[in-house]
Amino acid sequence: MNTENVKVAVVYQAHPLPAKDGIVKPMKPGGYADSGADIAYALKKNNTPVITPADNPFIDKDLDWVFPDTDAGIRHAIDKGADCIWLNTTLYADHPVTTYLNRGISVVGQLPLLSELYDDKWTTNHLLKDNGLPIPEAILIHYKDYKQHPLQFPLPAVAKPIRGRGSDGVTLVHTQAEYKSVLDQLFQTDRYGTAVYLESYLPGDEITITVMPAGTYQIHGKNVAKRDPWCLPAVRRFNHQNGIAPYNGTVAVINNSVVLSDHEEASMQVQQLYQQCVEAARLVGLRAPIRIDCRQDQAGNYLLFDLNMKPNMTGAARPHRHDQDSLTALAARKIGWSFTDLLENMLVQRWHN
């Protein structure tokens, strides 16, 4: 694997993102420092050169392992010797890392401009729909319209932030009374901004698919060239709460998720879904893994209902986090990759301007 000479530093989200057109993306408590520390620890344990803020990081102290994604934080990492920045953070068009992309620094992560663009569910789902990919029916509810006009959309439906983060703020509403209660709460807290995304509820099975970028990977001990984006095995979600998969910070995904069997994966339906997810990944210009959540409608057809430009990347690397494998890490195990193998393969796909 071509990672021996790289010196990598992992950054986490230090501050909330700026609002975009009145829409706010909620910040994860800790800003992904936990998964960032998982990444840095696993790579370091595998003898990949890792630059850390602390010279002798404590295994259970997240901030010993990761730098803030500020200009000062990135500069600190580079001054300590890093030549690759692992963007374990939420990106936006003028993120501080863009300054360093023209200075010979490589990154693991998405292009900041595209990450901001496709973090918007309305923009992304219109793109997918315009290119013939199956998505649920949806509308935008602006605060002003919500106050002045009754709902003209069939229930049950799912209300969610336009720039969401996992299942945070996502709620299934069955009745007009529930709809009013949920949207009152979403708008009153001002946590998500001035508009809410409302989409048809899909009552069937839910699976999530990680799409990897084109590149060369080591699979079962062999270098495999992937000319196109490709999918890790799909993971089925179960034990939903009120129709919604619970936030992984509340229920560890290993307790409500399982990789599809070979037989399930080989079905024409899942294989077609893989092709659709690859096409979606191409459309959003992925440069690192993305995750696409899919669910069956009443007729049993899978629809793509949520595209995540930054999948959760926790891993059971440190002893006190043995139950913290992410959906992507679970999927990777099906092709023989440990969490560390997944990270090393991601690191090979690093890019620079």
Phi, psi of 178 (to 5 degrees): -65, -40
Q: For residue 191, what pLDDT is reported?
A: 74
Q: What is the CATH number of the domain that holds 221?
A: 3.30.470.20
Q: Which of 200, 233, 254 is the last residue before a domain boundary?
A: 200
pLDDT tens per residue across span 321-330? 988 889 999 9
Q: Average the pLDDT over 127-139 and give the result.
A: 96
Q: For residue 105, what pLDDT is reported?
A: 95
Verify that 25 and 101 share a domain, yes or no: yes
Q: For residue 252, what pLDDT is reported?
A: 67
In the chain, the number of structural domains is 3
3-state SS, one letter per residue, for the chain: CCCCCCCEEEEECCCCCCCECCECCCCCCCCCHHHHHHHHHHHHHCCCCECCCCCCCCCCCHHHCCEECCHHHHHHHHHCCCCEEEECCCCCCCCCCHHHHCCCCEEECCCHHHHHHHCCHHHHHHHHHHCCCCCCCEEEEEHHHHHHCCCCCCCCEEEEECCCCCCCCCEEECCHHHHHHHHHHHHHHCCCECEEEEEECCCCCEEEEEEECCEEEEECCEEEEECCCEECCCEEECCCECCECCCCCCCCHHHCEEECCHHHHCCHHHHHHHHHHHHHHHHCCCCCCEEEEEEECCCCCEEEEEEECCCCCCCCCCHHHCCCCCHHHHHHHHCCCCHHHHHHHHHHCCECC
pLDDT tens per residue across span 16-55? 988 887 777 888 889 999 999 999 999 999 999 999 999 9
Verify that 50 and 159 share a domain, yes or no: no
> 119 lies in a domain?
no
Verify that 194 and 210 share a domain, yes or no: no
> 115 lies in a domain?
no
Rg (CA), the chain: 20
Verify that 227 and 323 share a domain, yes or no: yes
Verify that 102 and 159 share a domain, yes or no: no
Verify that 250 and 193 share a domain, yes or no: no
pTM for the model stands at 0.94
User: Which residues span the domain enclosing 215?
Assistant: 206-348
Residue 248 has pLDDT above 60, yes or no: no
188 or 9, greater pLDDT: 9
Verify that 173 and 231 share a domain, yes or no: no
Exposure b/e, 267-283, CB count within 10 A at least 16 = b: eeebeebbebbbbbbeb
Q: For residue 353, what pLDDT is reported?
A: 85
Verify that 40 and 100 share a domain, yes or no: yes
Verify that 42 and 144 share a domain, yes or no: no
Quickly state the pLDDT bin for 73 (edges 50, 70, 90): very high
Q: Which of 200, 218, 250 is the last residue before a domain boundary?
A: 200
CB 40 within 8 A of CB 12: no
Verify that 175 and 260 share a domain, yes or no: no
352 or 189, greater pLDDT: 352
Q: Which of 190-199, 210-219, 231-240, 307-316 has the highest mean pLDDT?
A: 210-219
Q: For residue 194, what pLDDT is reported?
A: 85
**Half-sphere exposure in the Cβ direction for 298 (13 Å, CA):** 3
Verify that 165 and 269 share a domain, yes or no: no
Q: What is the CATH number of the domain that holds 175?
A: 3.30.1490.20
Q: For residue 99, what pLDDT is reported?
A: 93
Q: Which of 182, 200, 218 is the last residue before a domain boundary?
A: 200
Verify that 56 and 34 share a domain, yes or no: yes
> 129 lies in a domain?
no
